[in-house]
């Protein structure tokens, strides 16, 4: 049986590492090539268990490189001849795109997508998946019952989402111009083990464990639709293998919660007082509500979320409690978590 190859970009990140682990375990006829720049949020330790399992490690190959480096990308395509591409590599943190600057986001999220599309056009493959975000759609009103569908007009409100929207538009253009076999996915907020500590849930867990205030932007009532990372990974697998080229698929789990509710649940799980909730001035361009309509992927590809939010949030919080060495190593490696806290402090924490 011929071994096939899937190229995963950003596979040392949160979602990418879960995707690689899932793919290696389920698809024994594949090898996985992981191209990762190893920026502050790219952590090889996220895949340390792969290296310990010879059945998996012999089919796993790591290459350090930037998706915006066309020479490196071309070299990877020539050497490994991937049958599939799953593109996760991205600059993702909204606050950083606002307060630190948008250039890195443009370089990776727009130009990096261009480089990959050019490689697909030049070398070919069966299917390429570009993982995007629901934030490209902008904001829904708190009083609205509507949800984002695949036909919702793009209205990105911050530099991060604008760059992701730009990458999406390039995918659309390359499919319609050159018939490239590309699909795009839009997902709601992910949570689970190995998420970088600057993100909302691990950030709140870390602060609550130290009895430090949990800062909430504005009134804390901004709503996000939450999905467990393994639900997302299984949906992406369906999109890559069964999705129709040129199509967009929205992925959500129908778990709409206010940020203040998430913070309260974390405090309750850890047995901490609600007095740790603290309100800070709102950030610029803060979208009010996200909600994903996933009827299309459920109807066409047979996917639906499997994991219960309350149970998986409990497991996620417990994972961070039980793995302080992982969090500590990330802090020591990058120092970005402290920089993130400084951003919160700049909002009068």
Strand 182-187 with 4-9, pairing: unpaired
Residues assigned a catalytic role: 134-135, 160
Q: How far is the first Cα of the chain from the last one, in angstroms, to the nearest whole number?
A: 59
CA distance 160 to 165: 9
Other C-beta atoms within 10 Å of 133: how many? 23
The residue among 192, 220, 331, 213 whose CA lies nearest residue 274 is 213
The residue among 129, 48, 54, 43 whose CA lies nearest residue 336 is 43
CA distance 344 to 166: 28
Tell me how far CA of residue 221 lies from CA of 62, 130, 202, 271, 317, in angstroms. 41, 30, 19, 22, 21
């Amino acid at each position: 049986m011929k071994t096939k190859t899937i190229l995963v970009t950003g596979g040392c990140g949160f979602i990418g590492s879960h995707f690689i682990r899932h793919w290696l375990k389920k698809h024994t006829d594949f090898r996985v090539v992981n191209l990762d720049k190893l920026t502050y949020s790219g952590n090889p330790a996220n895949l340390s268990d792969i290296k310990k399992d010879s059945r998996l490690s012999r089919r796993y190959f790591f290459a350090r490189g930037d998706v915006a480096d066309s020479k490196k990308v071309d070299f990877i395509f020539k050497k490994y001849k991937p049958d599939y591409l799953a593109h996760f590599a991205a600059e993702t943190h909204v606050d950083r795109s606002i307060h630190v600057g948008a250039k890195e986001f443009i370089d990776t999220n727009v130009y990096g997508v261009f480089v990959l599309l050019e490689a697909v056009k030049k070398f070919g493959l069966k299917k390429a998946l570009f993982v995007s975000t629901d934030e490209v759609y902008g904001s829904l009103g708190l009083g609205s019952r509507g949800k984002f569908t695949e036909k919702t007009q793009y209205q990105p409100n911050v530099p991060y989402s604008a760059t992701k929207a730009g990458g999406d538009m390039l995918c659309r253009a390359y499919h319609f111009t050159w018939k490239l076999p590309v699909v795009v996915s839009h997902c709601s907020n992910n949570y689970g083990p190995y998420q970088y500590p600057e993100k909302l849930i691990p950030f709140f867990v870390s602060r609550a464990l130290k009895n430090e205030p949990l800062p909430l932007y504005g009134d804390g009532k901004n709503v996000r639709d939450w999905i467990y990372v393994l639900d997302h990974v299984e949906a992406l697998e369906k999109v890559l293998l069964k999705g129709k080229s040129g199509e967009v698929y929205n992925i959500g789990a129908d778990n709409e919660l206010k940020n203040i509710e998430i913070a309260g649940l974390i405090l309750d799980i850890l047995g901490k007082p609600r007095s740790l909730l603290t309100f800070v001035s709102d950030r610029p361009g803060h979208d009010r509500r996200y909600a994903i309509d996933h009827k299309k992927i459920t109807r066409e590809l047979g996917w639906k979320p499997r994991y219960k939010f309350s149970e998986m949030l409990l497991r996620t919080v417990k994972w961070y409690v039980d793995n302080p060495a992982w969090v500590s190593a990330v802090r020591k490696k990058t120092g970005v978590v402290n920089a993130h806290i400084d951003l919160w402090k700049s909002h009068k924490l």
